[in-house]
Amino acid sequence: MTDIRNIVILTGAGVSAESGIDTFRDAGGLWEQHKVEDVATPEGFARDPDLVLRFYDMRREAIQAKQPNAAHEALARLDREWDGELLIVTQNVDDLHERAGAKRTLHMHGTHLNAWCTACDARTRWTGPLIDRPECPKCGARSLRPDVVWFGEMPYEMDRIYAALRQADLFVSIGTSGAVYPAAGFVRDARELRIRTLELNLEPSQGSRWFHESRHGPATQVVPQWVEELLG
Ligand code: BJW
């Protein structure tokens, strides 16, 4: 891979699984315990805001007790040591990439640790619960919601992601099922741009056939191995 200079990495729930954060679609995952249309759509929130706020309050509290694993650490090392362009686009709403030390990250599905005020549009770092309808620190309205992207909403910073893809020589997808668009379509976008593509996942994902190369195994093994190879 000596001709690789610019890299876009897409991460999903599988990268945080070994830190003890539930994935969505695996056995025992979040969507087995909750109906996706109830907790991850604007319509579900309008129908039963208490249910949705409790669901996110519980997860916001839980992630703060979790620690980055060897996969997050390896990607943070790559971020530190890679001279070319690098963008870690994560679908994850946890902050484990950043806590491992990665700087060049983008949270396309938002973050648990922000509250978004639907009255004034301000985003505020938020570590506590939202169930009691606290006031927005900017405008005082009691209109805060989790700053995460639900089905039917537009993921964040799509222009920046596509700009990075257009400059990339390598697209790597880590720990994601390839079930949710537009992220699931990045591999095909990359192929159209003639970018080399690599998948690192526990098992073949829904999009495996689109990748030039797939390596299967736990993220804490396959990601450090790949980073070591790349940095050599
Ligand atoms: C391991 C591991 C280990 C486990 N090591 N690996 C019909 C066709 C096409 C699209 C649509 C359609 N109908 C509707 C749509 C669009 C819709 C969509 O994709 N729906 C699908 C269900 C088909 N998408 C949207 O609505 C998005 N918005 C949108 O499209 O706007 C329009 C637009 C158009 C064009 C350009 C731009 C925009 C919004 C999607 C929002 C998703 N939100 C969620 C919730 C976030 C908040 C929260 O956390 O609660 O995001 S849903 C959930 O899924 C979450 C995740 O980020 C996302 C992806 O999940 P992920 O990360 O892949 O997790 P899993 O569990 O699915 O997979 C884990 C993987 O890890 C597995 O493969 C395991 O094997 C692996 N693994 N352990 C390595 N140790």
Q: pLDDT of 158-182, one tens digit each?
A: 999 999 999 999 999 999 999 999 9
The preferred substitution site among 57, 151, 174 for testing ligand 1, maximizing ligand atoms within 8 Å of CB, is 151
pTM for the full predicted model: 0.97
Helix (H, G, I), strand (E, B), or coil: what is residue 160? helix
Q: Give the residue numbers annotated as catalytic, written as ranges.
A: 109
Q: Kindly state if the Cβ of 11 falls inside 6 Å of ligand 1.
A: no
Report the DSSP pairing between strands 123-125 and 110-117: antiparallel
User: Residues 25, 175: contact at Cβ < 8 Å?
Assistant: no
Q: What is the atom index within ligand 1 of the atom nearest the CA of 181?
A: 19
* 100 CA to centre of ligand 1 in angstroms: 23
Q: Alpha helix (H) ranges present in 95-217? A: 96-100, 158-167, 186-192
Q: What is the atom index within ligand 1 of the atom nearest the CA of 151?
A: 26
Report the DSSP pairing between strands 196-201 and 213-216: parallel
pLDDT tens digits, 35-84: 999 999 999 999 999 999 999 999 999 999 999 999 999 999 999 999 99
- Whole-angstrom Cα distance, residue 37 to residue 18? 26
* 117 CA to centre of ligand 1 in angstroms: 24
User: Residues 7, 85: contact at Cβ < 8 Å?
Assistant: yes
pLDDT at 167: 98
- Predicted confidence (pLDDT) at residue 2 exceeds the cutoff of 80: no
pLDDT at 1: 58
Which phi and psi (to 5°) does residue 104 adopt? -90, 65
Residue 176: both structure tokens together = 């994601």
